[in-house]
Structure 1
Amino acid sequence: MTSHKAPMPRGVSRALDGWLRRRAAIAKQPLRGAILLGAVNGLLLVPEAWLLARSITAVVFQHRGLAAVAPSLAIILGIALLRALLSHGATIAAMAASTRVKTDIRHALHAKIAALGPGFLGTQRSGDLASLLVEGVDALDNYYAAYLPQMAVATFLPVALLAFIFPVDWVSGIILLLGAPLIPIFMILIGRGTERLNQTQWRRLALMSAHFFDVVEGLSTLKLFGASRDAAGLIGRMSEDYRLSTMRVLRVAFLSSLVLEFFTTLGVAVIAVFVGFRLYYGEIQFLAGLFVLLLAPEFFRPLRAMGTQYHARMEAIGASERIVALLETPEPETPAGVAALPAGSGILRFEQVSFSYAPGEPVLEAIQFAIARGERVALVGPSGSGKSTVARLLLGLARPDSGRITQGDIDLASIAPDAWFRESSWMPQRPTLFAGTLAENIRLGAPDASMPEIIRAAEAAEAHLFISCLPHGYETVIGERGQGLSGGEIRRVALARALLKPARLLVLDEAEASLDAETASLIRAAIVRLPRDISVLLIAHRLESAEAADRILVLRQGRIVEEGTPATLRAGTGDYAAMSALYHEGAA
């Protein structure tokens, strides 16, 4: 995490602003529409102000009645209505542009996260990524919906109004021309402080979001160890820091608005004083003076609006720092191998495979084994011996540091990841269900599966009975992470999902965890009944699960210390025999 107080270098800020502007290319048409409507709306001020000045002059100095100026008043009303419609249309176009850009950025972020893969996700905090995808992208809204259109209008409209003011009163034109730069200058000076505060604000939000998400995920563990009050106190302190940071940003924003209003009021007041004295000395006609006074506030309005929206630019730059950092994260090298595996391609082998998550801390050391087509192989061993790491390597979620994994004569490193993912199915140690129906969750790996196929997979996973008892059956909607189901029910739905996907390799990581003995035995029977063209790697803590395998591999400290059939290993004197004796002694 970047330091909260480290200001962003000016070059980085300019680069991020350039990146934000380039992303606007996808919404070029709606942005142009918003700018055009805003510019036309501003130009309509000229005939509106001229007609109003003429009407007032006619009534006050020429003593005409309201009936005489009624046509002009009707036109003014029509122009006002037209301006309101144009303003509404400009807002709609700007919001459409913002929505299009945000959608594109979210798609890019999702694609990037998918390309970086599970290895990257394992190093990130879920709350940080969730905050980036939601609040971080939403923070760009005002940049595209307000700042960019307003900046274009503020560049064009004051110059266009001066073109009408100078022929009427060149003195007022000179005053406006000299006063106009003061607003952007002070806007930039104040904006420098706002930029640093916004960067700090977004970094604090990222830290708080990540920590809060982690606390929610581990709430049961915190309560188990009596640490929930300490965690709540820490969240409270982080929330208070975030509140104070927010108030500092608002204080600077209000100061910016005050300065802009002051210079706008000062500019209009100077015009009013000059026009008043010149009217007194007869150097200007009332019609011309009133016309200039009516246009003077409108001359400053787009500049003031741009200054008001300048904090949207600072906020967007602060949020985009993390977005760009994620999008520019180097992706793991994708092997440019064959597009797909040939049908029925041989034995799956680990050949002297070593792997470590950190330098000098090996998890697996020179392990070697093979899985024949249709064979059931169980991995057993104490926690931390490397069983789940073997599964990750086998699924292509990580690459060996040395050695290789082959399918037949083909190195998995030379196979396109998507091709291998299509050939493998996985039930992780902590399966995740998504918000949606149970049928959608089971169908995740096989989107085209029919309902009868879903039911058969659920029956094989011993999930059909409890799903059938639900009010809406397979159309029952569950919450994120399987909210509404028990732990055992979640695992059975995840197992049905793994069984439904057509694959040549099925990896089950503790498929029977959180299940009662009767259901676990039914699932073991379902695994045994799987078609013999599917290879199964079963990571087991329960020895009953390992007993259902054709062959058992015993891992200890990252090495395979035993290999053989259940009966052979039970009859021996090694680790498996010792584990079996302890297990049966505990069961007794």
Structure 2
Amino acid sequence: MRRFLVASVAAGVVVSGSAIAAAVLLSALVAGLVTDPGSRSPAHWWPVLAGLAAVWGLRAGATWLQARLSQREASAAIADLAGQVLEAVTARDPRRVAADRDAATTVVLDGLDGLRPYFTAYLPALLQAAILTPAALAVMAWYDWSAAAIVLVALPLIPIFMVLIGLATRDRSAAALAAMTTLRARMLDLIAGIPTLRALGRADGPTERVAELGAAHRRSAMATLRIAFLSTLVLELLATLGVALVAVSVGLRLVYGHVELLPGLTALLLAPDVFWPLRRVGVEFHAAADGKTAADAAFALIDDDTRHAPAGGAARVAAAGAPIRLTGLWVDGRDGPAPAGLSGTIEPGRLTVLTGPNGAGKSTTLQVLAGLIAPDAGTVTVAGVPVGELELRAWWAQLAWLPQRPVLVPGTVTENLELFGPLNDPDAACAAADFDAVLGELPRGAATLLGRGGVGLSLGQRQRLGLARALGSPAPVLLLDEPTAHLDVAAEARVLAALVRRARAGDTVLVVGHRHSVLEHADTVIEVDHVRV
């Protein structure tokens, strides 16, 4: 960013110098042709013409370089800021990720694109106003004090109106971003529900609602555009009146012989260069306002992460094969604490099943064990070390976690199986998860391409893929959330037998389950309110 600003300032100095030099040379050329008819031969004015061509070419080159640097810096800044937002939001407590998802989605997908006008138009215009306006005014004062005095009176009106308009635009931009966030969230909810509505024969139901959301977005955009157009009209009117006052003053004084042609013409040609940068700042401010608002929202999401990030990173590494103890585990949820005072011990070499009613906090317990959620009360320790004090990346390397919806990314089946690292025995893992039969049905086997979220596989097939990935993982700790929920009896028996083998081999295996068949294979059953062995 510093290099970009230095380069932009340098380019702005060149542009400003070229503009002033061009005005002076052009004034000298015109004044000479008018006042000295004997010097109208092209050879006499060739040096001036060459100088004009040179400064115009220099100005064009500096403007092009500034635009190129601005585009490059805009792309880099947008990509970097979007990456920071995604990293900050996805690293949070999962309970907060859902709350911040819509805001982060709007900022990353739509809002930050508004930063491009900020870098490519507004910032160069601001630098130009800081350099060209005072420089042109100083040169104008050197040639014609009267014209400079008129400009000094009219010029402050533009910043005053810019501040007033900017305050209104800032509030409008914030409201537009909030409206966009709400509209996007509702639109995504509608789109997500279309498959269900289509299955029920009601796919045309959301049509009216989609039209209403589109109309609301259109009204929000038009309200912003109205402010932009009206403010631009005000700024253009002020700048035009300022230049007109200078022109009238110079013209009258030329008529009465109170000023010579060269200084008067120079002042007249410099007047637009005095007003133009400030006018451009006001115009470009509206294009950059939305991006600036989105950037503020992005920084708020990033800074918010520093205040709410879960505790951890104390560089303590848990030893593999150590017992995990839950003591009075308490996590506040949307509908009350879940779990509430959960205690128990998860020992290596034993298959432990966590059971209880829906909403009791079983999945939340797995997230606490993984270090993704900090408990509100109680402790979870591994070999006597609280999970919050572990070096989380080292702890995650020892975990194989299967949530209720396995994580699947666009790519081949093999890439999804090895998403978290190579498997010990892929064939054996696929057989244990009954995924080998699925591979035999796919058109290209393990090379079959899957879409986002596992599109191309049924719900049960996705579950089998996630199971194969967990069962084949070399990690010594397995956390499985309802691993047999979508399996038939035969497949469930194979999976449970594989889990028992992993436990007998000395691994720590924790399974969330309700079925009687799962409980039958358990060495230890932990309920939400007490421990039963």
Q: TM-score, normalised by structure 2?
A: 0.87
Greater CA drift, 414-423 or 205-214: 414-423
Equivalent position of 2:89 in the other structure: 113
- Partner of 1:426, secondary structure, is strand
Extract unaligned runs of 5+ from structure 1.
Answer: 1-26, 565-588
Q: Percent identity?
A: 32
Alignment match, 1:339: 316
Which residue of structure 2 aligns with residue 41 of structure 1?
A: 15
Q: After superposition, what is the alpha-carbon deviation per residue over 1:117-142, rounded to whole angstroms, capped at 9, x for unaligned?
A: 323214x1533321122323333333
Show CA shifts across 1:507-556 (max 9, x none).
Answer: 11122333455544444444344371222222234444444x2436274x
> 1:389-426, CA deviations, whole angstroms, 9 ceiling, x for partnerless residues?
33233333334454433334444344343343222221
In 2 relative to 1, CA 356–72 (structure 1 residues): closer, same or farther, beyond 3 Å? closer
Aligned-partner SS, 1:311: helix
Aligned partners of 1:59 and 1:65 also within 8 Å:
no
Q: 2:214 pairs with 236, 239, 243, which one?
A: 239
1:488 aligns with 2:465: no
What is aligned with 1:559? Answer: 529
User: Is the 2:430–2:436 Cα contact (8 Å) retained in structure 1?
Assistant: yes
Report the residue type matching 2:485 in the other structure.
Answer: A
- Rounded to whole Å, the distance in 2 between the matches of 1:475 and 1:72 is 71
Q: Secondary structure at the match of 1:484?
A: coil
Give 2:279's aligned residue: 304
Partner residue, 2:177: 202
1:105 maps to amino acid? L
How far apart, in 1, do the equivalents of 2:19 and 2:31 lie?
18
1:469 to 1:227, Cα distance in 2 relative to 1, 3 A = closer
The TM-score, its normalising length taken from structure 1, stands at 0.80
8 A Cα contact 1:162 1:173, kept in partner: yes
Greater Cα shift, 46-55 or 520-529: 520-529
- Secondary structure, aligned partner of 1:139: helix
- Aligned partners of 1:454 and 1:284: how far apart in 2? 92
2:359 is aligned to 384
For the Cα contact (< 8 Å) 1:380–1:541, is it kept in 2? Answer: yes
Tell me the amino acid that sits aligned with residue 318 of structure 2.
L
The one-letter code matched in structure 2 to 1:33 is A
**d(CA) in 2 for partners of 1:492 and 1:385?**
26
Range 296-305 or range 248-257, more displaced = 296-305
Aligned pairs (5 A) from 1:19-418: 27-61=1-35, 62=37, 64-66=40-42, 68-122=44-98, 124=99, 126-222=101-197, 231-312=206-287, 314-329=289-304, 330-335=307-312, 339-345=316-322, 347-357=323-333, 361-418=336-393
Change (3 A) 1:134 1:387: same
**Preserved contact between residue 7 and residue 66 of structure 2 (Cα < 8 Å):** yes
Greater CA deviation, 60-69 or 501-510? 60-69
Question: What is the alpha-carbon distance in structure 2 between the residues aligned to residue 475 and residue 145 of structure 1?
Answer: 44
User: For residues 279 and 437 of structure 1, do their structure 2 counterparts lie closer, same or farther at Cα, with a shift above 3 Å needed?
Assistant: farther
Q: CA deviation at 1:269?
A: 1.6
1:187 partner amino acid: M
Q: Give 1:274 deviation, angstroms.
A: 1.9
Residue aligned with 2:276, SS: helix
Q: Mark the runs of 5 or more structure 2 residues left unpaired by the alignment.
A: none
CA distances 1:260-285 after superposition (whole Å, capped 9, x unpaired): 11112112222222222222222333
* Residue identity in the other structure for 1:72: V
Q: Note closer, same or farther for the CA distance 1:143–1:546 as it changes in structure 2 (3 Å cut).
A: same
2:20/2:270 contact within 8 Å kept: yes
* Counterpart in the other structure of 1:13: none
Q: Following TM superposition, by how much is the alpha carbon of 1:143 offset from its aligned partner in structure 2, in angstroms? A: 2.7
Shift of the 335–267 alpha-carbon distance from structure 1 to 2, 3 Å rule, reads closer
Query: Structure 1 413/255 Cα, relative in aligned 2: closer, same or farther at 3 Å?
Result: closer
Name the amino acid aligned to 2:28: R
Aligned residues: 528
Counterpart of 1:540 in structure 2: which amino acid? G
CA contact (8 A) 2:114 2:288 kept: no
SS where residue 479 of structure 2 aligns?
A: strand
Partner amino acid for 2:260?
Q
Deviation at residue 179 of structure 1 after TM alignment? 1.8
Amino acid at match of 1:536: V
SS in 2 for 1:178: helix
Range that drifts further, 480-489 or 526-535:
526-535
- Distance (Å, rounded) in 1 between the aligned partners of 2:54 and 2:241: 31
